[in-house]
Chain A
């Protein structure tokens, strides 16, 4: 991938500069995100945290290239992002994000072949990532035969197998039961460590944010603005982090 070699771990990879994003309908203009800036470094697990309705999905869709900010800019490797593409693979909240007419393996192989990876290599890589999410035995199943958690794991495998510059995740575990959710969080930490992937992860769950993040961007609602940008490494413990984040979220909610 061009330019990616120049970016060392720790250097800014993705930058959002004073982005304002709004929805326009005949009746009104809704400002969902107002003047938001932050940067994500290579190898980070960057969590965007905020109450529901505060613009997290909007921001993620803008990074993904599905929405265009009315002001500000978003750059990847120093270049303005284009329309949606495989350098920013997305794991959506909706479990039904796999192509129902393809098996688990085909779901992972297909986008790889679209980006010009040879059939043999695509198969090999798909099998490796399917093994990584522990779904080898389900590789020939169709999505409707899988549980919600399994579908999510396929979506994560599909995203990571593409080796994107950044993996975008929009509350991927919110629809799962608590036990499955905790296991998926552990698994994501393991996968991220194994692959060194850069992850931008959206959630409204404080505990989840504290567990997963190397950095937490706290958004306040109406319109979505940056309340705080926390380096997790500066906190003495996860408890201290959770306390700080908790009061920030509380403030953000109370002010709105």
Chain B
């Protein structure tokens, strides 16, 4: 048997002995590289910032890029008192809430997928709470759990649950009847069908949900830490920024903000890598 569909082109390479007539200039190759463009944008922002700082000449309002980076490095080296321990505190609160929130979202999804009342509950609750920022329920947390780490985790959990549950539910709903039938054809049912067929088939949506869940939780967390960081003893990056502002360590304030952005980007990057190795590799997401 032969036919055009037997040729699988994995990668187009110049055949041996081929002569390149018109090479692609280095600056065009550069321009077409997304990573390069992003680095360029960041450098441009730093440049504008530096120029503005020099113009303003007021280190208390706008420190220079150099001072900020110096403050960042100094704080990294400061050990227990420095930014690293604050990052650690934030990550602890974030991950605790994220894991707990994901578990609750999974349970909600199981009910929504299997029962009509569960579906009604999920869709009503998510649309009702959608306009409400997670920090807005902080007064309730304060009432129930006082100023404590529990309150912080309550908020990060809350911020995780709804985006994750909605995306998971939509993901399961979107699994084609064909794939469901294929799973049953293999003799799978119930829990094994869910784990072996539905979850992987819904993975693109699940990943999207986890991604927005963690960023929602992180935003809520930083805002919350600014309000109560010191009081809970949990500190965190939000509190780090506020405290340094009170100490008038303005370059360190800017360094803290950069660190908050870096943590957010790190999670984005982590998810991008996971997606690249799973759903993108399998052609389930383009």
Contact = CB atoms under 8 A, between A and B. Distances in A.
Nearest to B4: A147
Contacts of A134: 1, 6
B178 A97 contact: yes
Contact of A150 (B5, B187, B188): B5
Contacts of B188: 114
Contacts of A97: 178-179, 182
A114 B282 contact: no
A149 to B, nearest CB: 5
Q: How large is the interface on A (under 10, 10 to 19, 20 to 34, 35 or more residues)?
A: 35 or more
Interface in A99-152: 99-101, 110-111, 114-115, 134, 137-138, 141-145, 147, 149-150
A138 B1 CA distance: 14
B187 A86 contact: yes
A145 B5 CA distance: 11
Contacts of B55: none
A99 B175 CA distance: 11
Interface residues of B, number: 25
Contacts, number: 78
Interface string A65-78: 11000000000000
Nearest to B281: A142
A210 B38 CA distance: 61
Contacts of A115: 187
Contacts of B17: none
A96 interface: yes
Contact of B182 (A88, A99, A142, A180): A99
Nearest to B203: A101
Interface of B: 1, 3, 5-6, 8, 176, 178-179, 181-182, 184-189, 197, 200-201, 203, 278, 281-284
Given A92-B181, A99-B197, 15 more contacts: A83-B184, A84-B187, A86-B185, A94-B178, A96-B176, A96-B178, A96-B179, A100-B283, A101-B278, A114-B187, A114-B188, A134-B6, A138-B8, A142-B282, A144-B282
